[in-house]
Structure 1
Amino acid sequence: MPAYAIAHLWDVDVNAEIVEYLERIDGTLAPFGGKFLVHGNPQRRGEGPESAIAIVIEFPDYQAVNDWYDSAAYQEILPLRLNNCSSVATLAPFCGEDHVATDVLKEVVSSD
């Protein structure tokens, strides 16, 4: 099942470090089968900062997305992004074709 790296970035300072990050990130994705699904503008924000953008990268499975994020290659360039924007990043597995919103309630109840 696929898995995803999902990021929300805002107040991005597009400078030499961000350009370097963008020039290098594709090379970090390739060994783990990562590919961009959502990246760049135009995007409509329903909520949150006006400058916010969403990024979604798909991986073959949850292990691959975690291995990519923890890889030396990605960790080497990560500060280039972190130092030049505000962001939240999440690594998440695919929830399944038949998932409905109330399925998350089963997880809450079973953890009590």
Structure 2
Amino acid sequence: MTAYAIAHIRPETMNEDILRYIEEIQATMDPFDGRFIVHGREVEVMEGSWPGTIVMIAFPALEAARAWYASPAYQALIPLRADHIAGDIILVDGVPPDYDAAKTAATLRTAAGL
């Protein structure tokens, strides 16, 4: 099942460290079959607030996303980003192709006794 690394980032100013991070990140993802889905695009806020941009990377499974994040190659790049860009990063499993939200609601309804 596809898993995602999602970053909500709030960049301040561009500098050489950030550019190097951007130049080198793909090579850290390649061994884990990671690919960008969204990279630094401005968002259209429909509800609430969302300062900054979003990055989404797809991996074939959550184990691959975890292995990428923990890899020595990516760990070496993290300070280039983290020292200059505030943000939040999560890893999350996607849903299967046949996912049905109504079935989830029914399960939740039953569990809640509603």
Which interval holds the TM-score relative to the shorter structure?
0.7 to 0.9
Structure 1 distance, partners of 2:19, 2:102, is 38
Kept in 1, the 8 Å contact 2:41–2:55? The answer is no
> What is the total number of aligned residue pairs between the two structures?
106
In the alignment, structure 1 segments of 5+ residues that lack a partner are none
- The amino acid that maps onto 1:83 is D
Structure 2 distance, partners of 1:102, 1:54, is 30
SS of 2:96's equivalent?
coil
Q: Hey, what does 2:104 align to over in structure 1? A: 103
Spell out structure 1 runs of 4+ moving beyond 4 A.
none
The structure that has the greater radius of gyration is 2
Q: Hey, what does 2:20 align to over in structure 1? A: 20
Q: Hey, what does 2:43 align to over in structure 1? A: 43
SS of 2:40's equivalent?
coil
Kept in 1, the 8 Å contact 2:3–2:60? The answer is yes
Moved more, 76-85 or 6-15: 6-15
Moved more, 6-15 or 67-76: 6-15
- The amino acid that maps onto 1:48 is W
Displacement, 1:12?
A: 3.3
In the alignment, structure 2 segments of 5+ residues that lack a partner are none
Moved more, 86-95 or 38-47: 38-47
Residue 60 (structure 2) pairs with residue 68 (structure 1): no
- The amino acid that maps onto 1:103 is T
- Cα distance, 1:62–1:101 mapped onto 2, change above 3 Å: farther
TM-score when normalising by structure 2: 0.81
Q: Considering only aligned residues, what root-mean-square deviation do their CA atoms show, in Å? A: 2.2
Higher strand share: 2
Displacement, 1:85?
A: 1.0
